Structures are given as structure tokens and as C-alpha cells.
Amino acid sequence: MSNPLTREQHLGLYYFMQLNRQLEERMVRLFRQNKIVGGLYSSLGQEAVSVGTCYALEEKDWIAPMIRNIGALLVKGVPPRDIFTQHMAKYTSPTLGKDGTSHFGDLKVRHIVSPISMLGDLIPVMTGVAMAGRYLGQNIVALTWIGDGGSSTGAFHEGLNLAAQQRAPFVLIVENNQWAYSTPVSRQVPIKNLADRAVAYGIRSWIVDGNDVVAVYNTAKEAVDECRAGRGPALIEVKTMRMRGHAQHDPAEYVPKQMFEYWKARDPIDLYEKYLTENKIWEAKTKSEIDARIARELDVEQKFAEESPMPPPELAEEGVYCEGCHAIEASWQRPKAEVTPPACSLEPGWEVKDYGAFLAGEATRKEIAAPAVNAPAGNAGGNGAKISKPIVKSGGKAPQQKPPLRPIEPEAPEVPRVPFGRGPKDKSVRESQNPRDRHANQNPRDKRGRR
């Protein structure tokens, strides 16, 4: 596809990815020196996702990062000192030491909603941000990220469904980094592409090579532009790889070595440097200049953080409630009269376009084929489902060869749950609990019984 990025923007992408990486490398050293108070969650190998997606936003747009989306914070204008001080629990940090890591936000200037460890919860929150922005006439887009792991939460479903129902200007980046702590994607979800889930919400989706920053940016830009134009929410699955353990304490020995090797050869910054050189967007000198600038900046920021004090103990007691410390004022970009009676008044009632019955000619039922599955071979086949072809985005520079790694096979076919006191090897138990029979008895509930 055409690439509308200017040279300056190209260099901007590099600057932020490299800043992201260098900042984190310094934090690893600080961690080893015992200067990081809590955990340290690396985004090594995922820089193109954070930077490429956030780069597609305008200043007025809102983000809610996950803990690893440090690159997005940097693109939004957060100074590296904020990330250093947060991790070091310093009084100069955005939360004054009340929370660590990337857990901080900025409502007024940069429009950042703080992450929360309970994944998925920010999807409904950002849906609300998008709805409020539209209500106030601000023409903003709200964007958040969710991992392959977090995509299994109930909040993911509730939030995305509400966003779709409201046609909210909301973009969800599903950052598939292959691992939810120690569990591979194939053991979390039975589908191959998490983007397939978008179909269930009636929203548009893309799949993109998450280690190709230009492809990530272009896809995000397209989604953001469409969102802003009022076409409802969008979902982008970004395929990438977490190149470290869940956090510093985790050596990630559960990841097959070949898998690391495969992805190391596809390092997003290496690939992008090659791209910039091949396309003559920069010279060697430019790179060294940017790298030197990053080192200079980080020296200053790190020094500031290391020399900052810890918070005074009495701060623990302060700030539970807003007692006049914040002025809450919405920024109206449309006339209030539009949402004030009588302009907003209406005749209540539902418009029901059809009566909801199943009508397909003479047929009384229709089989819907399942999308591509990720399940073990023994369980997956048999339904004749074809692998759907999603919109796959890639800048074309990434190595195209098939992954040389062995497939991550689940250890054994699913063993039926057995009554207490009877072993799974008991033949009669196995026969009486054929997995297919178990599913046949599950009746979907249309609605919750509320009376």
C-alpha cells in the first residue's frame, strides 16, 4: 500500500522505538541494582506495536495503555523521567509513589487513562471516553490495547459489545504477543486469529504484522481515520512476540528456544533500520545522531529519577477523595443547546425493522462454519471449515519464510473431567464422557433470568 509517512515521521517512529528500548534496557540495569521497587515488565520486541499504533493518533485523542505500552506513553509526550520515577516509587513520579510501572494517567493534557492490572476493564472505560467525546463534540478517537490473554475476559466482551452497539469512535488493538504469562495462545483460545472475534460484534478488523512498524502505523491510521469519520469501532490484531518473561523474575524457560530465535530475526527495530536504509530515508549518520540524542536525554532523565526522594510517609493518608482539589469541567465543542430540551426531546419508542424470525427460504436451519481453529489436531478437524482470509497487512519487508519452529502442541488431548474417586484411565468413564456429548447438552441462555 501507499506509504504517506514523511521523512520526519519515519525518523520519529525510529526515535520512539529506540527510546522505548533504551529506556527499558536502562530499567533492567536499575532492576539488577535493586533500584526498581516492584516488578519490571518488558516490552522488548513489541516496540513497533506501542509506537506504531499511538503514532496514528492526534494530540486530542485518548489512550489507555497496558503495562507494556511504554512506547505509546512516549509518543503521547510522557517524559522518560515519569517512567523511571514510577518504577522507582519516587515522590516525583506522576502518582507520587502511590503506584508503580506504567500505572499512571493524565486527564488534562495528554489524555491518558491509567492502566489497571485487571485486564479488559479499560475496554468499557475507553468506550465511555469515546462516547463522551462524541457527546461533547470533540471528534476524538479513544484507543486501548489488550493482550491475547486479556481477550478472554468478560470485560473484553462487555466493552466491545457496548462499543459496537453505540458505534463509539473506539479502536481496540489486540496485541497478540503469543504468551499470557506462561500460557501460549493456542492453550487460551481455540481460534487461530483473535481478529476473528470482531465478526461477532459486527465491527471491522485487521490483522497486521506487529514487528513491521510501518504496517502497524498504516493500519492504525486507517482504523483511526474511519473511526473518526463515524464508522464505529475497529479492532486490529497485531501479531508480535514477547521477547522476555512475564516480568524480570521470569526467565521464560517455557518458551521454545527456536521460537525466540525466529522472532529475534524479526526484531522490529532491526527490520525498521534496514527499511530506512534500503529506502534511503536516512544515512548512517542520522542513526548515530538520533541514538546519541536518546542517550543524552535518558542520562538526564535517569539522573533526575535516581536523585528524587521517596514520598513522605504521611502521603499514604492523602487523596482518597476529591475534596475540591480538582475542578471538573467538560470541554464542550458543540452548543449545549443541542442536548438541552426542547432540542433533545423526542417521542420515545423503538423502531423494530423486522420481527427477528429466521427466514431463509424453505430451510428451517443453517449451519455456520467455524473459523480457523487453533486446537490440537485431534480435536480440530472434521467440520470442513475453511481458513478464512483476513485482511493481512505487512510492509513486505519482513522475511516471508515459514516459521522454522516446531508447533507448540498441547501435551495431550483433553481428558474429560471425571467424578471424584474414578481415574481418567477408567475406560467406562472415558466412554461415558465423550467430549462431544458434553457440548451437546449446553443450552445457550438468551438472557439472564431477572424476575
Partner 1 sequence: MAPITMIEGIRQAMFEEMDRDPAVVAIGEDIGVYGGAFKATEGLLAKFGRERVIETPISETAIIGAACGMGFLGLRPVAEMQFIDFIACCFNQVTNFVAKSHYLWGAPVPMVIRGPSGGGVHGGPFHSANPEMYFVHTPGLKVIYPSTPSDAKGLLKSAIRDNNPVLFFEHKFLYRRIKEEVPEGDHLVPIGKAMVRREGQDITILSYAAMAHTAMEAAEQLAKEGIEAEVIDLRTLLPLDRETILTSIKKTNKLLIVHEDTRTGGIAGEIAAIVCEGAFEDLDGPITRVTALDTPVPYAPTLEERFLPNTEKVVAAARELSKY
Closer by beta carbon to partner 1, 125 or else 294: 125
- Cβ-based nearer residue to partner 1, 41 or 170: 170
Q: Minimum distance from CB of 366 to partner 1 (Å)?
A: 25
Q: What is the nearest approach in angstroms of partner 1 to the Cβ of residue 168? A: 9
Count of CB atoms within 10 A of residue 435's CB? 13
C-alpha atoms less than 13 angstroms from C-alpha of 68 in its C-beta half-sphere: 29
Q: Nearer to partner 1 by C-beta: 159 or 371?
A: 159
Output 142 or 238, the one with its CB closest to partner 1: 142
- SS3 track for 374-431: CCCHHHHCCCCCCCCCCCEECCCCCCCCCCCCCCCCCCCCCCCCCCCCCCCCCHHHHH
In the bound complex, what is the minimum distance in angstroms from residue 121's beta carbon to partner 1?
6
Residue 186 DSSP class: G
Rounded Cα gap, residues 30 and 412, in angstroms:
42
Phi, psi (deg, nearest 5) at residue 199: -55, -40
Cβ atoms within 10 A of the Cβ of 375, count?
17
Question: CB of residue 16 vs partner 1: minimum separation in angstroms?
Answer: 23
Q: Between 315 and 377, whose beta carbon lies closer to partner 1? A: 315
Tell me how far, at minimum, the Cβ of 341 lies from partner 1, in Å: 5
Report, in Å, the least distance between residue 137 CB and partner 1.
11
Task: For partner 1, give the closer residue by CB, 21 or 134.
Answer: 134
Query: Judged by CB, which is closer to partner 1: 140, or 189?
Result: 140
Confirm if 62 and 140 have CB atoms less than 8 A apart. yes
Closest to 175 measured CA to CA, from 123, 103, 135, 138:
123
Beta bridge partners of 360: 363
Nearer to partner 1, 113 or 207 (CB): 113
Cell of 250: 521470569
Q: How far is the CB of 116 from partner 1 (least distance, A)?
A: 5
Binding residues for partner 1, per CB under 8 A? 94-95, 98-99, 103-105, 107, 113-114, 116-118, 121-133, 135-136, 138, 142, 154-155, 158-159, 161-162, 165-166, 319-326, 328-331, 336, 339-341, 344-350, 447-448, 450-451
169 neighbors 209 (Cβ within 8 angstroms): no
Burial of residue 331, with CB atoms counted within 10 A of its CB: 0-12 exposed, 13-18 middle, 19 or more buried: exposed
CB of 96 to partner 1, least distance (A): 9
DSSP state of 316: G
Q: What is the CA radius of gyration of the chain?
A: 25
Residue 404's CB is within 10 A of a number of other CB atoms, namely 10
